[in-house]
Structure 1
Amino acid sequence: VRVVLQWDGPTLEPLGNLSRTVTIAANDEARVDWRVKAVAPGEAVVRVKALTDEESDAVQMAVPVYVHGLLKMEALTGVLRPDSRSARIQIRVPAERRVADTRLEVRFSPTLAGAMVDALPYLVHYPYGCTEQTLNRFLPTVIVQNILKRMDLDLQSIRTKRTNLNPQELGDDAQRAKQWNRSDRNPVFDEREVQRMVRQGVKALTEMQLSDGGWGWFSGFGERSDPHTTALVVHGLQLARANRVALVPGVLERGIQWLRRYQEEQVRRLKNAPSQTHPYKPYADNRDALVFMVLVDADVLNADMLHFLDRDRNHLSVYAKSLFGLALHKIGERDKLAMILRNIEQYLVEDDENQTAYLKLPESTAWWFWYGSETEANASYLKLLARTAPKSRKASRLVKYLLNNRKHATYWNSTRDTAICIEALAEYLTASGEDQPNLTIEIWIDGQKRKQVHVDRSNLFSFDNTFVLQGDELTSGEHTIELRKAGAGPLYFNAYLTNFTKEDPITRAGLEIKVRRKYYKLVRVDKSVPVSGGRGQVINQRVEKYRRVPLLNLATLKSGDLVEIEVDLELLLGEGIPFLFPQREARPYESSEPHLEIGALRVEAVEALLGGRTRLLVTTLRALQERAPIPAELA
């Protein structure tokens, strides 16, 4: 048989004779290999012909031809604290690359909290109905608009030209807004629209107030006043009044009186606990901390509840500890406040690489209750830091964490936590002084000044915060990027280096998300085990078994080799995060006995999900196909 290899297109070059003659016996087969060189990217239409003097055959297929390389982005981030003047970052541009695809983009901003304005259209256009959502429709917008007005900004002028104040987001600002479905009509820049929203919101909340002075979930016929909902509405109306919103006389005062009566009843129950006289409760709870904070803001201080909350602070959630801390700061209880801050900081995790900080809530936290919300807990802690340490490193890192963990690009999980985050970011923006920037920023590349811009409150939402080098503007080798600032305030910055690199090997890079892969060659091992035969006799049966050999050089692989790729999930998600369900069956090369594969959902797996202890479930296709419904008792 004469075997011929052919192809169409300029993508391949031969490395030998493309025609071979082989002898094949009847009912047998033969394999023919060719080596070719890939010289250009594209698609090669490959044909193989088998020609004889009697019968012939051929096959054709399209084969993609790739360049050795990939489009690789390296992300770097940093911050200049108010007392710092310059910062440097190093980058390396590989010589083996497509020069035209090289791009360096540096983005910077004197504030991250200012990016909160992007969430306001979501709150405004959400289809509201309940009491809480009615409040959230107008209150965050009023808070942010008053900050902008105090900055003496021309709202109409910045309405059409806005800078993306989050330097972590790439791309054209207007295009990103379009992709994320941001509203073209952000009400924060329209005073008349905000006034109309306020009138509607105050009117609706007034009508929802029940006859006893409290509020329920929907406040319709047969509704009962709820302490949690009432506390949220009273707190919101307090903020509204502080932001010059006119309220109907008596509405706020009646709500405060309802909370006052509720708190007095809880104190009575706590005092009944030692004698177990009904009704009683043993500890002050999370709702007591919320109500206490709201009443303290109304200048109502119950000394007994203060004592019980301080006594039972270890029974409070981390979220409630922050609420209690806000009240302690208001009444000037410095020693108790210092203790609460130390209690909260036990759960604080700081990421130096990404300059973020967050509260890692205990595994026992009931995430399905309001006080188990991770987002709201971090936002409340930010409010506390805005009052106790507004210019601290952990406060600015917490702001960055909250922005990075918006679940829907511009807003968080719901109207509730979005409103709470905006409230916290607004308070931080004012307390830290980031609403009054006065900076001259310079970008230096390899000792040469390439850009200078001045930022103050007048151009905060319109200044040019991007510096870009492309193609041959960036030469191969090491480069130093230096950001310098003069004036008051911090500076947050990110640098992104993008290359189509042809390095061999391609060096690893990552920020936040990192995956480590290990490669193993599976080498067959001859093994047999004694088993019982059909007549009870002992026979040796061969089993499939492999030995794993680490592959340090993938070039040593040959066609037909078996390879296993192992991905280190814990490196990606953190230690203890992956949760295997069910336990996988042992592979042939492992010495342990196979684990039992469980088709039904196990209690441990469901509990791990509901308890928030895991973000990833690893399962098998077979287990998913054979899964059983969750037992009714567990559901």
Structure 2
Amino acid sequence: QEIQKLNNAEGKITPYKTRADDLDAFVYMVLVDAGSDNQEMREFLYRDRVQLSVYAKAMFGLALEKVGDREKLDMILENISQFVVQDDENDTAWLKLPNEGYWWYWYGSEVEANAYYLRLLARTDAKGQTAPRLVKYLLNNRKHATYWDSTRDTAIVVESFADYLRASGELSPDMVVEVWVDGEKKQEAAINRDNLFTFDNKFVLAGKELTDGSHEIEIRRRGQGPVYFNAYLTNFTLEDDIARAGLEIKVQRAYYRLVREEKSIKVEGERGQPVDQRVEKYRREKLDNLDMLKSGELVEIELEIDSKNDYEYIMFEDMKAAGFEPVELRSGYSNNGLGAYMELRDNRVTFFVRWLARGKHSIAYRMRAEIPGKFSALPTKAEAMYAPELKANSDEIKLRIED
């Protein structure tokens, strides 16, 4: 019936439609998977591939791989690759969907689109660079670390992971992994198919075992299989100034002096005549380390946030320099762009963010310079409230205040 509509388009014979759409790609994939290949629909979908969503392109690619049409498959893979974003710093990759994916349609789901693309890569390039990066991105974007947005997309992602594990051979490792510190072997673990999820996968250096100075950690492998590892370091620093740090999430803080400018706007008077009315307007001047302020001057603090993934329940604690006091007197929700709850404390201003989308964001608030002296604002700290290993901090800054 859908093919008939497409054939009717040239003569505009009712019913007709001018192009093959996303639902056609979905149905074609299902039919091919069941052993029924309609070559006429394949040609229509290939003709109209540019208008297909990225999600549907991945579905069509799976069908093309199944029927062995390599020429068309290569073109579809090239089309999809235009939407792939590679993050070398975080070792992840994802599809940047046009217009953020039309999320209100079934084919606009970012999670499902990435999962279907992973399934396609599992069949065409499982050992390439993009597939494992997609896996890491999808893992990082789970809700509460156990599921995604729904039972539907969770099932699709799990299925794509299974396809990838089978294709990449990661289900059958046969290796011994060693951890060396400063040329000395500290621990080793034999990993095979039977103990893949139960072997001792943690090594800790604590207290006196970790001496001052630089150290070299090596991960060595004997045998076959991929090795994934993470390293965590907790330390008390005496450095001055403290430098910013972060990976999955980053926060940078900027201080600005607010300079009052004379500004007026035209408003309507009692008799409808234009009347000048003064308005409050400020110009921002960026402050660098050890810059001088006068007591009473207004300062705006802007927190610039860069998130690699979508996160929930993130807390930002901006440590306050002792000579400054917030302009706001009461805690509460404010017009800060992230819907964050601002909590005013003696030594910090804390923002609680319910939902933080991937990308760049900012939060700003104002303080007033009050007490003369030289003061240090310790780094702003970012932390996931229910996953405290996700954290970051900004640079420290020192400022001076005079009467």
**Taking structure 2 as the reference length, what is the TM-score of the superposition?**
0.70
The C-alpha deviation readout for 1:316-338, integer Å capped at 9, x for no partner, is 11011111111111111000000
> Are 1:288 and 2:7 an aligned pair?
no
Amino acid at match of 2:184: Q
Write the distance in 2 (CA, Å) between the matches of 1:560 and 1:332: 74
Q: Which ranges in structure 1 are unaligned for 5 or more consecutive residues?
A: 1-264, 533-539, 575-611, 621-635
2:205 to 469, 483, 491: 469
Write the distance in 2 (CA, Å) between the matches of 1:550 and 1:486: 54
SS of match in other structure, 2:302 = strand
Write the distance in 1 (CA, Å) between the matches of 2:39 and 2:160: 27
> Are 1:430 and 2:166 an aligned pair?
yes
Q: 1:357 to 1:573 in 2, by over 3 A?
A: closer
Write the distance in 1 (CA, Å) between the matches of 2:364 and 2:244: 28
Amino acid at match of 1:304: E
Q: Assess if the C-alpha contact under 8 Å between 2:265 and 2:279 holds in 1.
A: no
Give the match for residue 348 of structure 1.
84
Write the distance in 1 (CA, Å) between the matches of 2:264 and 2:113: 58
Q: Which has the higher strand share?
A: 2
Q: 1:474 to 1:328 in 2, by over 3 A?
A: same
Write the distance in 1 (CA, Å) between the matches of 2:177 and 2:139: 23
> Are 1:370 and 2:118 an aligned pair?
no
Write the distance in 2 (CA, Å) between the matches of 1:292 and 1:318: 16
Amino acid at match of 2:24: D
1:446 to 168, 177, 182: 182
Write the distance in 2 (CA, Å) between the matches of 1:452 and 1:298: 47
Alignment of 1:163-202 (within 5 A): none
The structure number with the bigger radius of gyration is 1
Give the match for residue 317 of structure 1.
53
Q: Which ranges in structure 2 are unaligned for 5 or more consecutive residues?
A: 268-275, 310-356, 366-403
> Are 1:458 and 2:197 an aligned pair?
no
Q: Assess if the C-alpha contact under 8 Å between 1:439 and 1:455 holds in 2.
A: yes
2:13 to 277, 287, 291: 277
Write the distance in 2 (CA, Å) between the matches of 1:552 and 1:456: 55
Write the distance in 1 (CA, Å) between the matches of 2:22 and 2:34: 19
SS of match in other structure, 1:499 = coil
Q: 1:543 to 1:364 in 2, by over 3 A?
A: closer
Q: 1:572 to 1:279 in 2, by over 3 A?
A: same
Displacement of 1:274 in angstroms is 0.4
> Are 1:494 and 2:230 an aligned pair?
yes
SS of match in other structure, 2:20 = coil
Write the distance in 2 (CA, Å) between the matches of 1:553 and 1:617: 21
Q: 1:353 to 1:393 in 2, by over 3 A?
A: same
Q: Percent identity?
A: 59
Q: 1:273 to 1:457 in 2, by over 3 A?
A: same
Higher RCO (C-alpha under 8 Å, 6+ residues apart): 1
Write the distance in 1 (CA, Å) between the matches of 2:265 and 2:38: 79
4+ residue runs over 3 A deviation: 521-525, 527-532, 540-550, 554-562, 571-574, 612-620
Write the distance in 2 (CA, Å) between the matches of 1:545 and 1:419: 53
Q: Assess if the C-alpha contact under 8 Å between 1:363 and 1:613 holds in 2.
A: no
1:417 to 140, 153, 156: 153
Aligned pairs, number: 312
Give the match for residue 393 of structure 1.
129
Give the match for residue 484 of structure 1.
220
SS of match in other structure, 2:204 = strand
The C-alpha deviation readout for 1:78-122, integer Å capped at 9, x for no partner, is xxxxxxxxxxxxxxxxxxxxxxxxxxxxxxxxxxxxxxxxxxxxx
> Are 1:331 and 2:70 an aligned pair?
no
Q: 1:412 to 1:543 in 2, by over 3 A?
A: closer
Write the distance in 2 (CA, Å) between the matches of 1:472 and 1:555: 40
2:118 to 378, 382, 400: 382
Q: 1:549 to 1:369 in 2, by over 3 A?
A: closer
Alignment of 1:57-76 (within 5 A): none
Write the distance in 2 (CA, Å) between the matches of 1:486 and 1:560: 66
Write the distance in 2 (CA, Å) between the matches of 1:278 and 1:548: 63
The C-alpha deviation readout for 1:5-26, integer Å capped at 9, x for no partner, is xxxxxxxxxxxxxxxxxxxxxx
Displacement of 1:512 in angstroms is 2.5
Give the match for residue 509 of structure 1.
245
The C-alpha deviation readout for 1:256-280, integer Å capped at 9, x for no partner, is xxxxxxxxx1111111110011111
Give the match for residue 250 of structure 1.
none
The C-alpha deviation readout for 1:40-85, integer Å capped at 9, x for no partner, is xxxxxxxxxxxxxxxxxxxxxxxxxxxxxxxxxxxxxxxxxxxxxx
Give the match for residue 255 of structure 1.
none
Amino acid at match of 1:367: W
Displacement of 1:543 in angstroms is 8.5
Displacement of 1:505 in angstroms is 1.0
Q: Assess if the C-alpha contact under 8 Å between 2:101 and 2:110 holds in 1.
A: no
Q: Which has the higher helix share?
A: 1
**Taking structure 1 as the reference length, what is the TM-score of the superposition?**
0.45
The C-alpha deviation readout for 1:490-510, integer Å capped at 9, x for no partner, is 111111111232322111111
Give the match for residue 567 of structure 1.
303
SS of match in other structure, 1:519 = strand
Q: Assess if the C-alpha contact under 8 Å between 2:3 and 2:40 holds in 1.
A: yes
SS of match in other structure, 1:455 = strand
Q: Assess if the C-alpha contact under 8 Å between 2:258 and 2:300 holds in 1.
A: yes
The C-alpha deviation readout for 1:270-322, integer Å capped at 9, x for no partner, is 11110011111111111111111111112111111111111111111101111
Aligned Cα RMSD in Å?
3.3
The C-alpha deviation readout for 1:531-580, integer Å capped at 9, x for no partner, is 99xxxxxxx999977665533225856765532212335x5579xxxxxx
SS of match in other structure, 1:441 = strand
